[in-house]
Amino acid sequence: MYNQSELGNFENYLLEKKYSKKTSCEHVLNTYVFTGVVEFKKHRFKKVSLFLINIFDEKVLEIMSKIFFLLCIVISLVTIVIFLYSGISDWIYILGIISSLVPLIISLRIQSVLEYYQDTFCKECGKKLAYEEIGEPVMKETSSFGNYTLTVTRHWKCRYCGNVDIRESSENIFAEQGEMLPAFSLKHIECKKCSETGTIVEIKKPDIKEIGKRRLTRRYYKCTICGHEDINESEEVVNHRTC
Ligand SMILES: [Zn+2]
Ligand SMILES: [Zn+2]
């Protein structure tokens, strides 16, 4: 359990990270729980989604997405087979492979349309494009010594029948425990309380999450001299994963 002075660390941590006042952190029985307000869900290709959802139903959109995905596989396979057995030139082969990406992109975009469909479809009154997000979406992160999980809770209200749906999910946000740093990497860190250097150790594996192109790493440090605990969060831009 954290005592009063240690709780001050969390306040500083939250202040440094410019978290909103509504963000809180609790530390109970070796488990850290971070709760903070996040933004409303952003849907990509909104105009296309509105257009397609007005015309088609969920099933049709699902079938369309599958057809375009299959088309991608067929075009690439045909291109490879022709390349291997009839000796087409390299540039036609490259053109064929690039062409196969077009239906793949369309398929993925339809997946985004489907997500918008599902988010805004009211099961209570059966209307499309009915739910609007209300209130304050909350992200809750739970980090213990062996596990790190993340959930987002959002409230959706139907503009036709007024039904409110509370949904909790991980929203496919990448979240995992990373590896602790080797001891020599901590040698230069100065304790914020006693100002000693080289006395810091990591007390548990770090939390890593990726939101959009941001990869956030949260590390838990403790000073072996004065016992001061500190949470450090760093951020880097990644290009290999989107959400
Ligand atoms: Zn409704
Ligand atoms: Zn210290």
Residue 119 Cα, ligand 1 centroid: separation in angstroms? 12
Are 160 and 211 contained in the same domain? yes
Q: Do 169 and 196 have their domain in common?
A: yes
With bands split at pLDDT 50, 70 and 90, how would you rate the model's confidence at 226?
A: very high
Q: Which of 149, 150, 153, 151 is nearest to 134 (CA)?
A: 153
Residue 232: its H or E element = strand 229-237
Distance 192 CA to ligand 2 centre (A): 7
The model's confidence at residue 225, banded by pLDDT at 50, 70 and 90, is very high
Domain shared by 66 and 91, yes or no: yes
Q: How far is the CA of 118 from the centre of ligand 1 (A)?
A: 13
Mean pLDDT of 200-218: 92
Domain annotation covers residue 241: no
Residue-level pLDDT at 160: 96
Strand order in the sheet with 174-177: 174-177, 200-211, 214-223, 229-237
> What percentage of the chain carries pLDDT values higher than 70?
88
d(CA 18, CA 36): 11
Nearest ligand, CA 198: 2
Are 167 and 89 found together in one domain? no
In terms of pLDDT, which residue wins out, 136 or 19? 136
Please tell me the predicted confidence (pLDDT) of residue 10. 46
CA of 240 relative to ligand 2 center, distance in Å:
38
Q: What is the pLDDT of residue 22?
A: 58
204 and 182 in a common domain: yes
pLDDT at residue 20, rounded to an integer:
47
Final residue of a domain: which of 120, 155, 185?
120
Asked whether residue 67 falls in the same domain as residue 148, the answer is: no
Percent of residues, the chain, with pLDDT higher than 90: 61
pLDDT tens for 92-144 read 878 888 888 999 999 999 999 999 999 999 999 999 999 999 999 999 999 99
Instruction: Quote the domain boundaries for residue 207.
Output: 4-37+129-234
Ranges 35-44, 154-163, 227-236, most confident:
154-163
How many domains are there within the chain?
A: 2
* Same domain, residue pair 142 and 183: yes
